[in-house]
Structure 1
Amino acid sequence: MNTAYEQLCGLAKEAALVESVEALLGWDERTYLPEAAGDYRAEQMTFLSGLAHQKRTQPKWGELLDELAGSDLAKDLHSDTGTTIRQLKRDYDKRVKLPQLLVEELTRASVLGQQAWVKARAANDFAMFQPHLTKIIELKRQQAEAVGYEDQPYDALLDDYEPQARTKDLTSVLGKLRQELVPLVHAIMESGKVAPVEIVSRLHPRGAQEAFGKTAAAAIGFEFQRGRLDVTHHPFCTELGPNDCRITTRYDEHHFNGAFFGILHEAGHGIYDQGLRSELFGLPPGQFVSLGIHESQSRMWENLVGRSNAFWQYFFPKWQEFFPVAAEGVTQQQLFAAINHVQPSLIRVEADEATYNLHIIVRFELEQALLSGDLPVNDLPAAWMEKYREYLGIAPPNDANGCLQDVHWSAALFGYFPTYSLGNLYASQLFEQADKDLGGLNDLMKRGEFLQLKLWLNEKIHRHGQCYSASELVQRITGKPLGSEPLMRHLRGKLLPLYGLA
């Protein structure tokens, strides 16, 4: 193997090692860190982020990349070596534009911001969080200007999560989706049919929820010998190494959907991480391609599998065993209707499939306005309420259920939210193709045979890492560019019969 290439891979793996330690501290901060230890944890993570930035921007990278650019190893853009050179070059060119001080300040602000957000959310007091958000937004503006953009500053931040995506294109896609979703939700609301939602509000003991959730996560392919499940304020998944994937959830004994579908969602993320080629950890072919594709995996297992009738034909008897009191007098079809209840609501992570993307559009529009300065930070709570009235017909009674409900802005994740809707679109289109390729997913799921879908995803998506872009992957797998039709077919196919509209 080319000596320069081996040196480049060595540098990349060394930087990934530092970043994995930082990720471990981040996981601990959001799960088990004592409250009083927060300030020093911010310093620890700031130090590591600065060290990783140093390692990824040292001049040696540029020298090696220049040497390899015209080599035979770079000729096939989609090979492992070609992908490594191409993607590390893209990443290096972007990182060298960022001053180390800015990288460190962003890390410190996000760690302290998340800690302040937890307290502000518990106290239902946006004012406690406002100074932190103001600082984070200013730092993100500096980041966008340093990196550069073709059209608008938001593009530079969006690229961190969905490479090569553009704000104007997403605005068009999400605008079209909103036009199709609003009448569907309106028709359901006007149907007069109400799902028996009190079923999922019955007592579901926390211990049984955890055991049932783990049973389901294992059944769909999450490997607990390479991962674990813990509790946090806001569910997430993080990869700490090639065989160390952490997923989290939160429990409410009178809200079954929250923890259970949260576990399926995060397990979907984890299955993607566990499906990457572990021997290439730290190199582009061993890393996920985009957050939109990553989100497609979590939304697929949560919704297209976990909220399907076929899934519950298999898991309903198990639900009865784990929750005998809540299950008393309940039929499988009643539970299916309850977990697919459509109702505009305040909380994104608890939203039904039909209204979920409206929550995303609210955030997508607001964070652009915050970044541009069109929306002053102190006006965010009121602007949030106005958007919810316009798009969902409801308004939050307080900040905790309004603009303080998500961790993302406190963690400086501007540009992240639209990848959730992209994930829904990708998931539906990929699921349709898997259904064709595997000869009928419903029949498999009714029998509890979920691993064929997991293996299909391993083969078609996970093992490729970043060898293809998100759009290239979708085109290769389905033969079509990304579209909204599969998602709308899925929603109408399931929801219209449930509400007597088919």
Structure 2
Amino acid sequence: MSAAETFAKLRAHARETALVASIGGLVEWDEQTYLPPSGGDWRAEQQAYLAGVVHARSTAPALGEWLAELRDSDEARDPESDIGCVTRELSRRYERETKLPGDLVEEIARTSSKAHHAWTTARRSDDFAIFRPWLEQMLALQRRKAEAFGYEASPYDALIEDYEPGETAESVGSVLTGLRAELAPLVQAIVGSGVAAPSEVLRESFDVETQAIFGKAAAQAIGFDFASGRLDVTAHPFCGGAGPNDVRMTTRYNEHDFADAFFSTLHETGHGLYEQGLPGEWFGLPPGEAISLGIHESQSRMWENLVGRGRGFWRHFFGPLGEAFPVAMKGVDPESWYFAINEAKPSLIRTESDEATYNLHVIVRFELERAMIEGDLLPSDLPAAWNEKYASIVGITPPSDANGCLQDVHWSAGLFGYFPTYSLGNLYSAQFFDQAEADLGDLEAMFAAGEFDPLLGWLRKNIHQVGQRLSASQLVERVTGKPLSHEPLMRRLKAKFGELYGFG
């Protein structure tokens, strides 16, 4: 059989697998948006079944045979070619997936569904005891998963590979330690400046229905195609997909906190733009998939912070904002609004935190989940450990578990190794944005004129359309000519907050 014929068989198999996986994505989206409260147990069985089917297809012996044939072919020698990219990435996944027992995959899916509902109840009730047994179960399952994969230094290494291939607990820890060393003095300077942002303007009464309309309009203006996606409400905002032309975004609304919903919407729109920019004809195969969660996060953080919290963006949107909320915005000038949406101070909630302190929230989670996976921290001790680290790293002590160790959904879903990708995304975003500005010119002036297409087009060409033909580190080098560095991010943070808070 020729390489082309083998590749055709593999591609057809992968497409069918992607169909099943996309049904699972839709089922999960429904669970977090519209599932009736009593439907959780049956939904868990549905998800376990679908996960089992996907795993069986992903570890089929025929798939291994096709990959072995392609690895020996001349057509696969170019790692960036269609066949080369598919063979390399699917071989890596196949090797990992075949190490996982099917019953473990199904049990993780089943437990994550039930744990999600327990987490929702626990957070609403501010009762960690409700979630604790599910966290214990999920940790045990994740350790089994790590043992099945195998690792050299830490079980955490085996888990982070699912989200940021090539990274380890040590490499990520080194990056975050270096970042923390520069962030801590910056946050101390902000706190010690004695300057306060006029954040009360964000806490006026902003009608929720109008917020939804305004947020959707902003998402559409920066490029999200609502003919191929939608925006709904959930407890914890996320972006998922059910197919190449079906991207599901969610957000949440607070009448007295405009920034919560609006910047969550921009954040998820960044994810959605990446999904909509991937080559649809390769859906379910590496050329049509995101490189890593860190690169995915670079897109969401770029649109949320580097675009959405910039002066240019609000020179364009400030007028429409005043028209949408005439009472809440009465007497508010553009500079006061700009300062308010860029307020920086130690806070409790990661998703609501500012650019200066956000990575400190991630560091807390990384250190705690690594300790739990490595067996150095028991789930029963998590609330106290969380509060201690928040006091020492972020500079604030949570008054409750709902605003502490129960605030994130990730651990209920078994996403251990996921959190560091948020900080990597911040680093990637700043470095990419600098290069985009060098290539395109004054981006702030473009945003002020309502021109977002140049940046989106640049991202489509240089990042989205690449799929997984390059690794994350290769992409950064290819696009910017330099390896990943914390310098672009820190330079921006120091300049922005030094101006706002009068130092530096």
Q: TM-score, normalised by structure 2?
A: 0.99
Query: Is the partner of 1:68 in helix, strand or coil?
Result: helix
Aligned equivalents of 1:389, 1:124: Cα separation in 2:
20
* 1:413-452 pair list within 5 angstroms: 413-452=415-454
Structure 1 counterpart of 2:387:
385
Question: Is 1:410 the equivalent of 2:429?
Answer: no
The CA deviation at 1:440 is: 1.4
Structure 1 counterpart of 2:256:
254
Structure 2 counterpart of 1:303:
305
**1:367-397 Cα distance to aligned partner (Å, 9 max, x none):** 0111111111100000000000001221111
Aligned equivalents of 1:73, 1:291: Cα separation in 2:
29
Structure 2 counterpart of 1:492:
494
Aligned equivalents of 1:244, 1:377: Cα separation in 2:
37
List runs of 5+ in structure 2 lacking aligned partners. none
Question: Is 1:144 the equivalent of 2:136?
Answer: no
* 1:24-63 pair list within 5 angstroms: 24-63=26-65
Structure 2 counterpart of 1:482:
484
Aligned equivalents of 1:239, 1:438: Cα separation in 2:
30
Structure 1 counterpart of 2:127:
125
The CA deviation at 1:81 is: 1.4
Letter of the 1:274 partner, please give it.
Q
List runs of 5+ in structure 1 lacking aligned partners. none
The CA deviation at 1:501 is: 1.2
Query: Is the partner of 2:357 in helix, strand or coil?
Result: helix
The CA deviation at 1:500 is: 1.2
Letter of the 2:235 partner, please give it.
H
Aligned equivalents of 1:64, 1:326: Cα separation in 2:
62
The CA deviation at 1:353 is: 0.4
Question: Is 1:10 the equivalent of 2:38?
Answer: no
**1:284-322 Cα distance to aligned partner (Å, 9 max, x none):** 000001000000000000000000111111111111011
Aligned equivalents of 1:478, 1:150: Cα separation in 2:
32
Aligned equivalents of 2:315, 2:191: Cα separation in 1:
27
Alignment RMSD (CA, Å)? 0.7
Letter of the 1:466 partner, please give it.
Q
**1:250-270 Cα distance to aligned partner (Å, 9 max, x none):** 000000110000000000000
The CA deviation at 1:150 is: 2.4
Letter of the 1:66 partner, please give it.
A
Aligned equivalents of 1:465, 1:96: Cα separation in 2:
24
The CA deviation at 1:136 is: 0.2
Runs of 4+ aligned residues of structure 1 deviating over 3 Å after TM superposition are: none
Structure 1 counterpart of 2:503:
501
Letter of the 1:399 partner, please give it.
D
Structure 2 counterpart of 1:332:
334
The CA deviation at 1:78 is: 0.9
Letter of the 2:301 partner, please give it.
R
Structure 1 counterpart of 2:284:
282
Letter of the 1:439 partner, please give it.
G
Query: Is the partner of 2:242 in helix, strand or coil?
Result: strand
Aligned equivalents of 1:195, 1:2: Cα separation in 2:
61
Structure 1 counterpart of 2:314:
312
Aligned mate of 2:246, from 220, 244, 247: 244
Aligned equivalents of 1:483, 1:64: Cα separation in 2:
39
Letter of the 1:365 partner, please give it.
E
Structure 1 counterpart of 2:402:
400
Aligned equivalents of 1:198, 1:303: Cα separation in 2:
20
Aligned equivalents of 2:82, 2:300: Cα separation in 1:
26
Aligned equivalents of 2:4, 2:299: Cα separation in 1:
35
Aligned mate of 1:178, from 174, 177, 180: 180
Aligned equivalents of 2:321, 2:496: Cα separation in 1:
21
Aligned length: 502
Structure 1 counterpart of 2:74:
72
Structure 2 counterpart of 1:199:
201
Query: Is the partner of 1:238 in helix, strand or coil?
Result: strand
Aligned equivalents of 2:470, 2:317: Cα separation in 1:
36
